[in-house]
């Protein structure tokens, strides 16, 4: 079945609270999709983000981003009073100001938690998710504990000892980030190595903060399930996103150190990234620890099976970011400053997916196969019958065999005007070369006055089974609405829109195009 839909991360949704949430703004967006005959809402990863705010660097591969919890719903549930949400700061409506949002919503959530009485549904949630929730909630409570404790210190003997231990592998500024940011490898030795008695003692000492983090996860998934159910009831599927790698400073790595390539001091030996490419001349240094695939294989890839099962309970289809890493991944020495130097090393290949399919017979996966793609990567993707991705912004370089041109597509693919890593289509058109713009206009038989709608039409008209376009393109926004610029650390993941921008003419245009091209 031919389908089309919109890429939008929930943080961008309209809300009075400085960041999109899972309340009315999410339901209104689904209504907009429904009016436009759109069958898909694709998001970025929905896990709790770390200090860089990137959805691809999360404190957990299983937990949800609790800053997406709607305070309005907490009010209707009686966990907050109306007066608790009366004095809302004057948040920006065009971008997420993460620091201010975190401060404000943390106060609201702690107030809601103080009014919460654990019930049967909460206890059931905790039991069903125990395999990740226990470690995640303890990890989060411990991070808070160490961050707060160290705010009162300045270059203590513990800090100096940590610097001495790590001086050969990280610069001074990174040492400070690790230590004062409460990264798990800076904790007391018995906690780093997970000595049972030490864990038990901290579970007792931090029982209240641990319960708080469980409460936040309970509320997040309660609200997310309601949003997904509303979407599904309107014949709209959710495409979730799963980063192939997890963050080093995550409960996953701390709780499963044997599954990652770490040295005797619990630091990565090599980290993930990609070599120089279209997006960056120095490549992308992601910094994620690499998997110890030998250890994963020993237990039948159970961690990965649980990860896929978990996401499929919260999404209908999964896009796997950096799919090529399952065939081979780019390994960068931990101490390097960029990704210009690295080596390719083999991944688990089809063995991983064979193990997953024994547990999950139907595996609805989209393989993000952009970048350095070899015949081996294509063979792996085809062996599991997963569609790859096509990006229309990459199509117009005048190369006759450009695989991103629609006349070179195969049906089993997902076409995008652009992704979260691309400029908006208007931004792309304005900044690309004259030759590229000229070929685009000739290929499209257009004057280039509305390049975003030209690309949306081209995507929907193509033979690709699924066509996706960022909401920024539907709204006709320029480069100022870009979600992420790879290789640049600042001012990413911030874009937001207001409810008044979802004009009826846009849903009518989408409805018309979807009907004309039988989607």
- Alpha-carbon distance of 15 to 71, in angstroms, equals 10
Q: What is the signed CA dihedral for 144, 148, 153, 159, rounded to 10 degrees?
A: 0
Torsions phi, psi of 319, nearest 5?
-95, 120
Block residue for tokens 């005959």? 37
311 in Cβ contact with 290 (< 8 Å): no
- Alpha-carbon distance of 192 to 362, in angstroms, equals 38
Known catalytic membership, residue 421: yes
- Alpha-carbon distance of 320 to 356, in angstroms, equals 14
* CA neighbor of 122 nearest in space, from 106, 133, 111, 138: 133
- Alpha-carbon distance of 153 to 180, in angstroms, equals 9
Of 237, 241, 270, 321, catalytic: 321
Of 252, 327, 421, 473, catalytic: 421
Of 21, 135, 241, 368, catalytic: 368
The Cα-based distances of 459 to 5, 53, 337, 432, 454 in angstroms read 11, 30, 38, 19, 9
- Alpha-carbon distance of 504 to 497, in angstroms, equals 15
495 in Cβ contact with 427 (< 8 Å): no
- Alpha-carbon distance of 429 to 181, in angstroms, equals 41
364 CB neighbour count, 10 Å cutoff: 15
pTM of the model: 0.96
Known catalytic membership, residue 369: no
Judging by DSSP bridges, how do beta strands 270-274 and 284-289 pair with one another?
antiparallel
Known catalytic membership, residue 21: no
The Cα-based distances of 495 to 10, 52, 377 in angstroms read 11, 15, 33
Structure tokens belonging to residue 418: 């652009």
DSSP string for residues in 177-206: HHHHTT-GGGS-HHHHTT-HHHHHHHHHHT
For residue 98, the 8-state DSSP code is H
β-strand partners of 272: 331
| Helical segments of 300-349, H only | 302-312
β-strand partners of 284: 274
What's the confidence (pLDDT) of residue 279? 66
Q: pLDDT tens for the chain, 519 residues: list them.
A: 899 999 999 999 999 999 999 999 999 999 999 999 999 999 999 999 988 899 999 999 999 999 999 999 999 999 999 999 999 999 999 999 999 999 999 999 999 999 999 999 999 999 999 999 999 999 999 999 999 999 888 778 889 989 988 988 888 888 999 999 999 999 999 999 999 999 999 999 999 999 999 999 999 999 999 999 999 999 999 999 999 999 999 999 999 999 999 999 999 999 999 888 776 788 888 899 999 999 999 999 999 999 999 999 999 999 999 999 999 999 999 988 899 999 999 999 999 999 999 999 899 999 999 987 999 999 999 999 999 999 999 999 988 899 999 999 999 999 999 999 999 999 999 999 999 999 999 999 999 999 999 999 999 999 999 999 999 999 999 999 999 998 788 899 999 999 999 999 999 999 999 999 999
* CA neighbor of 502 nearest in space, from 59, 27, 159, 99: 27
Q: Which residues have a Cβ under 8 Å from the Cβ of 226 and sit 6 or more positions away?
A: 22
- Alpha-carbon distance of 237 to 364, in angstroms, equals 12
């Amino acid at each position: 079945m031919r389908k089309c839909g919109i890429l939008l991360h929930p943080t961008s949704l309209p809300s009075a609270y400085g960041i999109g949430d899972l309340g009315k703004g999410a339901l209104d967006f689904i209504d907009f999709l429904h009016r436009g005959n759109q069958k898909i809402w694709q998001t970025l990863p929905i896990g709790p983000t770390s200090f860089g705010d990137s959805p691809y660097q999360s404190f957990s591969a299983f937990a949800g981003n609790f800053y997406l919890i709607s305070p309005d719903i907490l009010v209707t549930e009686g966990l907050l009073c109306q007066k608790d949400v009366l004095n809302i700061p004057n948040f920006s409506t065009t971008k997420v100001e993460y620091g201010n949002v975190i401060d404000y919503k943390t106060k609201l959530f702690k107030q809601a938690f103080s009014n919460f009485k654990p019930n049967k549904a909460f206890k059931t949630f905790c039991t069903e998710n125990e395999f990740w929730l226990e470690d995640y909630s303890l990890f989060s409570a411990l991070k808070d504990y160490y961050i707060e404790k160290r705010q009162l210190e300045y270059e203590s003997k513990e800090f100096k000892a940590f610097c001495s231990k790590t001086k050969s592998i990280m610069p001074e500024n990174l040492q400070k980030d690790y230590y004062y940011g409460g990264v798990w490898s800076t904790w007391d030795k018995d906690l780093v190595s997970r000595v049972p008695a030490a864990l038990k003692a901290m579970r007792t000492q931090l029982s209240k903060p641990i319960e708080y983090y469980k409460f936040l996860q309970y509320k997040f998934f309660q609200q997310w399930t309601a949003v997904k159910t509303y979407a599904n009831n309107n014949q709209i599927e959710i495409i979730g996103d799963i980063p192939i790698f997890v963050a080093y400073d995550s409960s996953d790595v701390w709780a499963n150190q044997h599954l990652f390539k770490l040295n005797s001091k619990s630091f990565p030996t090599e980290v993930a990234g990609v070599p120089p490419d279209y997006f960056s001349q120095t490549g992308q240094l992601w910094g994620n620890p690499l998997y110890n695939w030998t250890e994963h294989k020993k237990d039948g890839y159970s961690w990965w099976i649980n990860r896929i099962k978990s996401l499929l309970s919260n999404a209908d289809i999964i896009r796997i970011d950096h799919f090529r890493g399952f065939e081979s991944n780019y390994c960068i020495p931990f101490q390097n400053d960029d990704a210009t130097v690295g080596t390719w090393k083999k991944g688990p290949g089809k063995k991983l997916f064979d193990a997953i399919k024994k547990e999950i017979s139907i595996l609805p996966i989209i393989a993000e196969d952009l970048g350095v793609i070899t015949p081996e990567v294509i063979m792996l993707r085809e062996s599991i019958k997963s569609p790859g991705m096509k990006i229309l912004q990459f199509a117009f370089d005048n190369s006759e065999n450009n695989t991103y041109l629609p006349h070179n597509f195969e049906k089993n693919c997902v076409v995008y005007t652009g992704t979260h890593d691309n400029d908006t289509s208007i931004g792309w058109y304005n900044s690309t070369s004259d030759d590229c713009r000229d070929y685009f206009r000739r290929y499209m038989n257009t004057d280039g006055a509305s390049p975003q709608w030209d690309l949306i039409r081209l995507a929907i008209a193509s033979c690709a089974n699924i066509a996706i376009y960022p909401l920024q393109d539907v709204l006709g926004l320029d480069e100022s609405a870009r979600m992420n610029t790879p290789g640049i650390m600042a001012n990413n993941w911030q874009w937001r829109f207001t409810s008044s921008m979802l004009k009826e003419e846009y849903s009518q245009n989408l409805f018309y195009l979807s009907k004309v091209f039988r989607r």
